[in-house]
Amino acid sequence: MKSLKCFLLLCLATVIAGNQADACTNFLFTKGATTDGSTMISYAADSHTLYGELYYRKAASYPEGTMFMLVDWDSGRPLFQIPQVAHTYSVVGNINECQLAIGETTYGGREECWKDEVKGIDYGSLIYVTLQRAANAREAIQVMTSLVEQYGYCSEGESFSICDPNEVWILEMIGKRAAPIQDAKYAKKQYKDGAVWVARRIPDGYVSGHANQARITTFPLEKKKSYTAISSNNMKQINRPEVECVYAADVITYARACGWFDGKDEEFSFADTYCPLTFSGIRGCDARVYAMFNRVNSGMKKYEKYAMGDAKAERLPLWIKPDHKIDVLEAMALMRDHYEGTAMDMTQDLGAGPFACPYRWRPMNWEFDGKKYIHERATSTQQTGFSFVAQCRGWLPNKVGGIIWFGVDDTYSTCYCPMYCGITKIPRCFAEGNGSMTEYSETSAFWLFNRVTNFVYSRYDAMIKDLQKVQSKLEHNFVKDVQHFDEKAKNAKPEEINNLLNDFSNRQAERMMKEWTALDHFLLVKYMDGNIKKEKNGKFETTETGNCAFPDQPEYPKSFYEQIVKDHGDVVLEKEVK
């Protein structure tokens, strides 16, 4: 009972600290699309109330009959108890010791599928319970779908990224309610509360993404003596390597029964049925996937019209083949995007202010003169609690092969620090309980990064360049250090490995905190009061007598002066004195 009590307390602490809103971004990279043959998924957990921490769950064994309480990830509300398994894997953030990683984005979808409160497991519990129980992506799909089949599903529509060292999958799910049947042909069919879903393996050599809009449209259907696609009725076949699509047996019939689909089975589109396109679903969500695709494939421009909200234009594909192979540094860079180089570039319009700041304070939607307008919703956004790139490397022992490159706050201005999946000690700067959204902590990475970033927003075009120098130096050095450490760690004795991994990951975090604290001080000194102090050879210039050299005071852009004149010209016009 003591272990059960500790587990419940850990779950409650995590949930209270980790309320997540439905505004996240995931990118998926198969091993054939990466330079080193690793698989990767990236995830930005974006919420105005989410505090950035690195959650940790210790591996444990439980006696038969042990029960534990599910706790709703968003609200912290206790749900119900379910049996614990005999052994659970350790979990660091969103990756476990077997190199299984899972991310998510919420797409909502048809309200009929989730608006009525029902008993069921929530999306957050699905992720973290599965990470404790599954060793690879196919096992994860089995665990997640069997949990909702047995206990129901109480969240909105959700897209999940699932990867292990060999494969990358996307699983899309939405609630199935025991609702009145609209089609008389299905009146005798009983639909209990649960979920309908489809999972597809991303073809090797391809990349994919999802960002709060359902992405799976049509999909292969099960055929006799063929195991390319299987339904949940044939789940025992999921481990056959040729299986590349798995779906709930009633995903189509339930839609027919509800009156949402009446075409041929092979024409059925999960996304169009359970999450019909809207302007906001395209412009605020799929556009983020387009931005990533556009940066890795030169043929994506044809989808820009769709990304800007035209539902009649050619729809963005579920996956694409990149023009080049992608390394972990580029995966980090792809999480840093404000639509630069597209028609939606957030640095180019008046909303960016005089210093080209690509951020827009909320609300996202606004009206003027009876017309409705929007601010862009980019991958990089100010309210990110934490983000990561999970990298799974099958040529190394599991505890060494899996890395969660973890960062807090805005993806554009964070620093991704390597945390091996085999660590058992979380660095102090990322530890749960070290500060909160309403409690400042000097030793918290979340608060340090927010201090720096919020200052950078004030004179963005100049200050971001200084930040990027430190960011780039740290991340490039981290990658080199990981390469050297891998050689040492892969041959370590079992009794030594945990200490080695803990020491390495914790030292990298300490190094990052030291460098970022220095950056915080440097930016304040250099950009105080709107001035920009002169530098030479890495030092601030002084006069012959040792005083500070007079700072630069760059003008506003001409376009900004023009706006001032249009708005206020008669008042600020310099007049002759007669």
Condensed to tens digits (0 to 9), the pLDDT of residues 196-248 reads 999 999 999 999 999 999 999 999 999 987 899 999 999 999 999 999 999 99
CB atoms within 10 A of CB 412: 25
Whether residue 111 is predicted with pLDDT greater than 60 in this model: the reply is yes
- Cis before 63? omega within 30: no
Cβ contacts of 232 within 8 Å, gap of 6 or more = 145, 149, 246, 247, 248, 249
Whether residue 162 is predicted with pLDDT greater than 50 in this model: the reply is yes
Judged by average pLDDT, the poorest of 180-194, 330-344, 430-444, 545-559 is 180-194
* CA-based R_g, the chain, Å: 25
The average confidence (pLDDT) of the chain is 93
Structure tokens at 544: 């012959």
| Predicted local confidence at residue 538, as pLDDT | 84
Which amino acid, one-letter code, is at 387? S
Sign of the C-alpha dihedral, residues 199, 203, 205, 208? negative
Beta partners for 60? 88
| Predicted local confidence at residue 494, as pLDDT | 87
Taking every pair of C-alpha atoms in the chain, what is the biggest distance, in angstroms?
97
Among the listed residues 127, 137, 141, the one whose alpha carbon sits nearest the alpha carbon of residue 164: 137
| Predicted local confidence at residue 365, as pLDDT | 93
| Predicted local confidence at residue 3, as pLDDT | 37
Among the listed residues 252, 407, 415, 349, the one whose alpha carbon sits nearest the alpha carbon of residue 563: 349
Of the chain, the percentage scoring pLDDT greater than 90 comes to: 89
Whether residue 294 is predicted with pLDDT greater than 80 in this model: the reply is yes
The Cα-based distances of 155 to 93, 171, 181, 250, 475 in angstroms read 21, 15, 21, 19, 36
User: Cα–Cα distance between 122 and 158 in angstroms, integer?
Assistant: 10
Whether residue 349 is predicted with pLDDT greater than 50 in this model: the reply is yes
Whole-model pTM: value is 0.94
Whether residue 1 is predicted with pLDDT greater than 80 in this model: the reply is no
User: Cα–Cα distance between 576 and 309 in angstroms, integer?
Assistant: 51
Q: What is the mean pLDDT of residues 152-167?
A: 97
**CB-based contact 240:227 (threshold 8 Å):** yes
| Predicted local confidence at residue 184, as pLDDT | 67
Q: Using DSSP bridges, classify how beta strands 365-368 and 371-374 pair: parallel, antiparallel or unpaired.
A: antiparallel
H/E element holding 133?
helix 123-133
Of the chain, the percentage scoring pLDDT greater than 70 comes to: 94
Q: What is the mean pLDDT of residues 106-110?
A: 96
Structure tokens at 215: 């992405």
**CB-based contact 125:57 (threshold 8 Å):** no
Whether residue 11 is predicted with pLDDT greater than 80 in this model: the reply is no
| Predicted local confidence at residue 23, as pLDDT | 79
Where are the chain's structural domains? 2-348, 535-572
Quickly list DSSP for 279-312. Answer: HHHIIIIIHHHHHHHHHH-TTGGGGHHHHTT-TT
Angle at the Cα of 104 from the Cα atoms of 217 and 296, rounded to 5 degrees: 70
Which amino acid, one-letter code, is at 83? P
Q: What is the mean pLDDT of residues 12-33?
A: 67
| Predicted local confidence at residue 177, as pLDDT | 85
Query: In degrees rounded to 5, what are phi and psi of residue 475?
Result: -65, -40
Helices (H), 327-444: 328-334, 398-401
**CB-based contact 209:28 (threshold 8 Å):** yes
Quickly list DSSP for 170-185. Answer: EEEEEEE--PPPSSGG
